[in-house]
Amino acid sequence: MKYLLIVIIAFSSFQMFAQDRITGENFVTRSEVIAKNGMVATSHPLATQVGIDILKQGGSAIDAAIAANAALGLMEPTGSGIGGDLFAIVWDAKTQKLHGLNASGRSPENLTLKYFRDNNYKKIPSLGPLPVSVPGCVDGWFELHSKFGKLPMNKILAPAINYANEGFPVTELIGYYLQRSVPYLGSKFPNVLETYTINGKVPSKGTIFKNPYLATTYSKIAKEGRDAFYKGAIARTIVNFIKEQGGFLSYNDLATHKSEWVQPVSVNYRGFDVWELPPNGQGIAALQMLNIIEQYDFTNIEFGSAEHIHIVTEAKKLAFEDRAKYYADMDFAKVPVQELLDKAYAKNRKKLITEKAGKYNAGEISAGETIYLTVADKDGNMVSFIQSNYRGMGSGMVPPKLGFMLQDRGELFTLEEGKFNTYAPKKRPFHTIIPAFITKNGKPYVSFGVMGGDFQPQGHVQIVMNLVDFGMNLQEAGDAPRIEHAGSSSPTGEVAANKGEIKLESGISFNEIRKLISRGHKVGYGGSFGGYQAIMFDAENEVYLGASESRKDGQAGGY
């Protein structure tokens, strides 16, 4: 009874919205942006404008995406930067095909599982030099550019270089995250305060912030290419610093790094093909969920109802147990992707779902903070692009006078021997960041992503359902109240202890929450609900529609 009272109080004001709209759902924050020649949607208005400017100069969607990502690495260091990794799905208008790029880095060749065991580590630390893997972002830029770029890299990086030298005003949400992250990391590790403060003060909303170190780094990359980062002075500065800090990342780790072009994988959901990248990312979890959910008739199930939330939650639990067991670097583990995405497998998994909240194991199969942006151009090319350092700003490792922090993706390995995702040298860790794409009858429909760690596959599923099952427009699909289930087993070795907890945003009625509780669900308030950006191609009118995340500082813009 006490718990029920807490939930009632927590959700008592959830049905109130700031203002009614003349059109669309009450929860929608704005109309979709509509334009004919190009569209850019990012989590920062200035980065969106950078992308639009590149498109207007004749750049491709990929050129604009790289330019916007470089700007975000400067303007939103709390979630991105060239110390991190990158994944992308590209619709190439010329060949009418999707291309996938896995630009994630590998673990150090000289760091072994034995080292962790000999030093009594139960898990890889979140911060410091040990979770640092090779940053794949810059190589990803140049792989994308060599295949789909039009403008020279010096033009593409010029806007970010100018902003880094001249300064830009910090936005509200980024200021909030900087205030939370920089003092803590700066108290533990060198170069953080020098790079991310102004005369020792953390920048806040409206503060003009400059990063001349990053401007110099970008300028070297623009002039000398990707080898400036992986084989030149930048690489040596990185590895010398990590060695000083007690880490293992070597010059050879950087010099031998390469991205991988991969074939995106898909399932058909009620006539729409939903595309993700294969592991080491978690994208196929969204596809597994959709295969289960598709077996339910949603024509008479309302959005936000207990039935809707129950089905999505149970499908997530089932998929995430498979995620914990099977998802890993496919160069090291024979991940049964096709079996996991098989409709027959989904039918068998669905049989486990009842009217009550369940706890599940992985299926038995025989087998050996982040930024998201999307861009579309006048030629019909579209790119779904996600890039991150992990855990917000990353590992705390800021190489001197380079202007960026290195990622801590290595934390996502397990140290338990014999698992698909067990740590090994030169191995890519399990990855949370995933771009998504939807096609209809072999033609581009929606390029989208939702940031937020473990929430990302859940967010992808909710966007698809909002568009397909609930008939929402592109902006409504992102603004609609979100659902997160927490507490599943993890690829890092944690095993679900119970049925977990459903966390809800504003807008779900208490009557439905009470029904969920009666089904055996634990229901709570507040979660990690990510950040959504999306572009839809309207083939009938030959225009793009753009939508941006209302939970962040972002903007969709077109021309």
- CA-CA distance, 347 to 341, in Å (whole number)? 11
Domains with residue ranges and CATH for the chain: 35-85+97-257+369-412 (no CATH), 262-367+432-442+453-540 (1.10.246.130)
Name the binding residues: 453
Q: Which of 309, 431, 287, 371 is nearest to 73 (CA)?
A: 371
Q: What's the CA angle centered on 511, arms 507 and 515, to 5 degrees?
A: 115
Predicted TM-score (pTM) of the model is: 0.95
| Whole-number Å distance between alpha carbons of 28 and 507 | 11
Annotated binding-site members for L-glutamate: 453
CA-angle at 286, arms to 280 and 291, nearest 5°: 125
Q: What distance in Å separates the CA atoms of residue 526 and residue 374, rounded to the nearest whole number?
A: 27
pLDDT truncated to tens, each residue of the chain (559 aa)? 444 444 444 444 444 444 678 888 889 999 999 999 999 999 999 999 999 999 999 999 999 999 999 999 999 999 999 999 999 999 999 999 999 999 999 999 999 999 999 999 999 999 999 999 999 999 999 999 999 999 999 999 999 999 999 999 999 999 999 999 999 999 999 999 999 999 999 999 999 999 999 999 999 999 999 999 999 999 999 999 999 999 999 999 999 999 999 999 999 999 999 999 999 999 999 999 999 999 999 999 999 999 999 999 999 999 999 999 999 999 999 999 999 999 999 999 999 999 999 999 987 654 336 799 999 999 999 999 999 998 889 999 999 999 999 999 999 999 999 999 999 999 999 999 999 999 999 999 999 999 888 999 999 999 999 999 999 999 999 999 999 999 999 999 999 989 999 999 988 999 999 999 999 999 998 777 878 999 999 999 999 999 998 888 999 999 9
Active-site annotation holder among 171, 195, 217, 370: 370
Exposure string (b/e) for 426-464, b if CB count within 10 Å is 16 or more? bbbbbbbbbbbbbbeeeebbbbbbbbbbbbbbbbbbbbb
Q: Please state, as a whole number, how many other Cβ atoms lie within 10 Å of the Cβ of residue 526.
A: 10
432 is catalytic: no
Tokens of 53: 């400017």
Asked if 174 contacts 76 with a C-beta cutoff of 8 angstroms, the reply is yes
Phi-psi label, residue 453: left if phi above 0, alpha if psi -120 to 50, beta otherwise: left
